[in-house]
Amino acid sequence: MPMPFETSRPRGGAGRSVLVVDPTPIARKFLTLRLQALGYHVQAAEDGEEALARVEQWAYAIVFLEAVLGSAAGLDGFRVCQAIKQKPDHPRGIAPAVVMVTGLAGSSDRVRGSLAGCDAYLTKPLVEAELVAALREVDPLFG
């Protein structure tokens, strides 16, 4: 039983659904395991087309999105983010938060993410403290 003076641990994802979009299997697995450990229910997609199809059908709290997707249709993460944010009819009526998790670390890349509508921008290699800080920023129930 927790003592009243203990520092509180984050409640984590509390089973909320999130989507991880990354073309690299090891990157998807790494982020999936981290988010599951924080209490999220994780689904994954390899490319922008699959991500947009999933967002059409499922109400995600957060979408974690790689900027470089290598899509056959030319959809990079910035375009996918913009499409998600501009979609008028999300399940449950609320657009998910979008967190870019990418190897693109330049200031112009961050600006592109911001212009596309992302809510947070993290660079690889992913630092646990930065992930938790981003979750506290974009997930009002995390904390």
Query: Which residues of the chain, if any, have pLDDT below 70?
Result: 1-11, 71
Q: pTM higher than 0.85 for the full model?
A: yes
**Residue 143: inside a domain, yes or no?**
no
Residue at 128 is within a domain: yes
Enter the DSSP assignment of 5: T
Q: How far apart are CA 20 and CA 135, in angstroms?
A: 14
Cβ-contact 48, 67 below 8 angstroms: no
Q: Which tokens is 69 given?
A: 């997707």
Task: Report the mean per-residue pLDDT for the chain.
Answer: 90
Residue 56's domain comprises: 17-138
Quote the tokens at residue 104.
Answer: 């693109």
Residues 6+ apart with CB under 8 A from 71: 47, 48, 49
CATH of the domain at 63: 3.40.50.2300
How many C-beta neighbours within 10 Å does residue 98 have? 27
Assess if residue 4 is contained within a domain.
no
In this prediction, residue 11 carries a pLDDT of 61
Amino acid identity, position 89: D
Give 141's contacts (C-beta < 8 A, 6+ positions apart).
Answer: 11, 14, 16
Task: Decide if 5 is inside a domain.
Answer: no
Q: pLDDT, tens digit, for every residue of 15-32?
A: 899 999 999 999 999 999
Compute the chain's Rg from CA coordinates. Answer: 15
**What three-state secondary structure class fits 10?**
coil
SS (H, E, C) 66-102: CCCCCCCCCCCHHHHHHHHHHCCCCHHHCCCEEEEEE
Domain count, the chain: 1
